[in-house]
Amino acid sequence: MTHGVAVIGSGAVGTDLMIKVLRVSETLRMVALAGTDPASDGLARARRFGVAGTADGVAGLVALPEFADVELVFDASRADAHPHNDALLAAHGRTVVDLTPAAIGPYVVPSVNLDAHLRERNVNMVTCGGQAAVPIVAAVRRITPVAYGELVASVAAGPSGPGTPVDLDGLTATTARAIEAVGGAGRGAASLTLDPARPEPAARGAVHCLCPDTGADRTAIVDSVQAMVAQVRRYVPGYRLGQDVRIDEVDAPVPALGERFTGLRVSVALEVAGAGHHLPGYAGHLDMMTSAALRTGERLAAVRAAERLSGRSGRAS
């Protein structure tokens, strides 16, 4: 059984997500792509794939006859457009997976907290950095408390596209909030650098966790991180450790905490290679977002289908 979906946003991210649905998903069926630029590459590709398309945004999407077959919508447009999109889709009873920073619904990181939000009508995919860092912080947190969690990342500037503004402050603030709210750190922080180098470098980052318990089981921490990386790789095959997990004892002032810290520092180097469905391989950070959204959409659609089936069975009995 497949579930009909639509994507809002015919740019690079929305197009990559459309192609993932077409090529990778065994449970989702790509029904429609909505954008606002009639000349966009995404809408041209949709036509070639036989996918219904519209350049009239969400209004055009709900006006398509194919919209009747859409159960779930991925919004890969813009944060300022998402509230309007969501309101219209809510009026039509559609579930929404939000890839923008709007965050109307709860933050979702599939390997960490998706099970807790399977019945939400709108869920938010945080940021690319959040999808990479939060699983690591959560993995450490399930062994020992994390007083401070930080992501330091560098990604190629190219995938954002010329003339496309990147709100680094907003991205880092959202990532920091997710490190706290979903990852479980007492305090979160993030730093993102856009690297203009050519050829474009792969997406890399490091997650640092400060843990006050110096007696924490270090082997258990490493095992937990490795298990989490394996879990994330089930939906993001290019997600991997850049080197062995490092654990050091520290006793030094930490400006972010405003005090001296004594405990363990767990450092985890990460690399993310893109699958190359539409985004280039070096855009692993964006591929991580679309892959996480795909996994989330599959689970949400499956739950709703099961509920409908259960409802029909209940009425029959």
Neighbours of 302 (CB within 10 A): 15
Taking only the tens place, the pLDDT of each residue in 45-100 is 999 999 999 999 999 999 999 999 999 999 999 999 999 999 999 999 999 999 99
- What is the pLDDT, as a whole number, of residue 316? 40
Condensed to tens digits (0 to 9), the pLDDT of residues 100-149 reads 999 999 999 999 999 999 999 999 999 999 999 999 999 999 999 999 99
Structure tokens at 108: 């979702």
Q: Which residue has the tokens 């699958």?
A: 275
Name residue, tokens 């966009």. 40
Catalytic-role residue among 18, 109, 128, 266: 128
Note whether 3-125+288-316 and 128-281 share their fold.
no
Using CB atoms within 10 Å of the CB of residue 243, give its burial: 0 to 12 exposed, 13 to 18 middle, 19+ buried: exposed
Residue 209 among the catalytic residues: no
Integer Cα distance of 156 and 65 in angstroms: 39
Phi, psi of 29 (to 5 degrees): -120, 120
The domain 128-281 is classified under which CATH number: 3.30.360.10, 3.40.50.1010, 3.40.50.300, 3.40.50.1820? 3.30.360.10
φ/ψ of residue 186, rounded to 5: -65, -35
CATH superfamily of 3-125+288-316: NAD(P)-binding Rossmann-like Domain (3.40.50.720)
